[in-house]
């Protein structure tokens, strides 16, 4: 019965939480990728609009500004594409799918009538470590999001950290999207 509780605890505290955190990490990577792609297209549109406007106005200052923006956008495009949000999302997905299979194997171990075999349990724990080693670890925020979603987070400090980080993140995203509009207002 002691092994039963160990396995049950390992499933609940390790496999399940890690699997859910990896699911959150995959979703975060996909959101980051989509936001990045949208932002690059958005900024490209504004730079093209500036370039077309320059054909009409022939303003030297705006021309220099547009060239600087174009070079900056080119650099950001190279940098952000090198991060590989999509590839990371796929690795997180592979990881949580493997963790799901491992969870099923552990649950089958619990259901065995002849008793729980300690050696099998240790082999499955070793498999867990191998799965974790294949992928970057999820962020603390992914972990906190899982705990918040499932009402397991009791620390006010962690809640404050999570919501403060998200507030700042969305404020930065908003600034990134509003910046070209502000530039247009000041340039025109």
Instruction: Give residue-wise pLDDT tens across range 111-160.
Output: 776 666 778 888 999 999 999 999 999 999 999 999 999 988 778 999 99
pTM here is: 0.84
Tally DSSP H helices, then E strands, for the chain: 7, 0
Residues whose CB falls within 8 Å of the CB of residue 45, separated by 6 or more in sequence, listed in order: none
Sign of torsion over alpha carbons 129, 145, 136, 165: negative
Specify the pLDDT at position 3: 75
């Amino acid at each position: 019965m002691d092994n039963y509780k160990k396995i049950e605890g390992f499933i609940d505290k390790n496999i399940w939480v890690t699997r859910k955190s990896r699911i959150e990490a995959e979703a975060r990577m996909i959101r980051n990728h989509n936001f990045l792609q949208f932002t690059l297209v958005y900024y490209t549109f504004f730079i093209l609009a500036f370039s077309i406007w320059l054909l009409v106005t022939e303003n030297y200052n705006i021309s220099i500004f547009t060239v600087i923006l174009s070079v900056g956008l080119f650099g950001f495009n190279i940098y952000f594409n090198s991060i590989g949000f999509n590839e990371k999302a796929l690795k997180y997905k592979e990881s949580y799918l493997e963790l799901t299979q491992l969870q099923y194997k552990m649950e089958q171990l619990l259901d065995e009538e002849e008793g729980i075999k300690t050696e099998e349990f240790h082999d499955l724990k070793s498999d867990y470590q191998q799965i974790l080693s294949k992928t970057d670890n999820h962020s603390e925020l992914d972990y906190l999001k899982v705990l918040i979603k499932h009402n397991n987070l009791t620390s006010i400090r962690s809640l404050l950290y999570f919501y403060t980080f998200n507030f700042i993140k969305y404020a930065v995203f908003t600034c990134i999207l509003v910046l070209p509009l502000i530039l247009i207002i000041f340039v025109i």
